[in-house]
Amino acid sequence: MRFHVLTLFPEAFAQPLQFSIVARAVQRGQINIDVADIRDYTHDAHGTADDYQFGGGHGMVMKPEPVFEAAEATLSAQIPVILTTPQGELLTQKLVEELASSPAIAIICGHYAGVDERIAEGLATRPVSIGDYVLTGGELPAMIIIDAVTRLLPGVVGSPESVAGDSITTGLLQHPLYTRPAEFRGMTVPEVLLSGHHAEIDRWRRRKSLERTLEHRPDLLSTASLTNDDRRYLAG
Ligand code: ADE
């Protein structure tokens, strides 16, 4: 999988992607991250990539010419071109899965007050927001997209089961996890997890997932696939 990132701040991508699972995926050649500096495609001595808004208003707007030229110089085939923007479609695990099935994706990082609408119209195929809050720029959202897509690629995360059983992928939030020691500062690991009874453990985990989802994300329950047993427990 190849990620093409178009940004005014390429230095933002230098360190954050150089540790743990994403770094290993790069080293193994499972992913490539090509970062293009939009400012390299400006034509004045100051490298001007933004300008005032037509119609007035606070905040600068990213100019279309350097972004189009950066895209034309670095992108070839018809690939999804994401624009990171709070005005986009919300990033969900379903969208992440869809993106992971593409051999390459491009991500244009918006910055300042936003980008000239012609970038959204004529270049981006997929405006994406990572949540209902506003960040200073689209670089962190781009890294989040790269991270979430990378861990779905075959062989990137150790066991496929841990991806298949993900929180959200299953439609519910994940159950609590514990490791050693069995007792820590008076807090103990639930007995059932030490019992070795796999059916009981599965039942406990399912119920904890249901409880957590009901508490923190009740909206997910309307689309999660629930058994009659689950429904009885929730009604319980
Ligand atoms: N740029 C600023 N805020 C953003 C958000 N929530 N999602 C994507 N891009 C952004």
Q: What is the pLDDT of residues 77-105, one digit of tens each?
A: 899 999 999 999 999 999 999 999 999 99
Q: How far, in Å, from the CA of 79 to the mean position of ligand 1?
A: 21
Q: How far, in Å, from the CA of 86 to the mean position of ligand 1?
A: 4
Tens-digit pLDDT profile for residues 147-188 = 999 999 999 998 878 787 677 778 999 999 999 999 999 999
Place of tokens 């959202």: 141
Q: Does pLDDT of 200 surpass 90?
A: yes
What DSSP designation does 48 have? -
The structure tokens listed for 218 are 């009740």
Ligand 1 site, residue 14, Cβ cutoff 6 A:
no
Ligand 1 site, residue 129, Cβ cutoff 6 A:
yes
Q: Is 118 helix (H, G, I), strand (E, B) or coil?
A: helix
Q: How far, in Å, from the CA of 115 to the mean position of ligand 1?
A: 12
Q: How far, in Å, from the CA of 215 to the mean position of ligand 1?
A: 27
pLDDT at 197: 98
Atom of ligand 1 nearest to the CA of 85: 9
What DSSP designation does 229 have? H
Ligand 1 site, residue 134, Cβ cutoff 6 A:
yes
The arithmetic mean of pLDDT across residues 46-59, rounded, is 97
Predicted confidence band at 76 (pLDDT cuts at 50, 70, 90)? confident
Spell out the domains of the chain, with CATH numbers in brackets: 2-150 (3.40.1280.10), 165-235 (1.10.1270.20)
CA distance 235 to 216: 17
pLDDT at 169: 75
DSSP 143-171: HHHHHHHHTTSTTTSS-HHHHHT-TTTTS
Distances (CA, A) of 176 to 28, 88, 161, 201: 32, 32, 17, 12
pLDDT at 53: 97
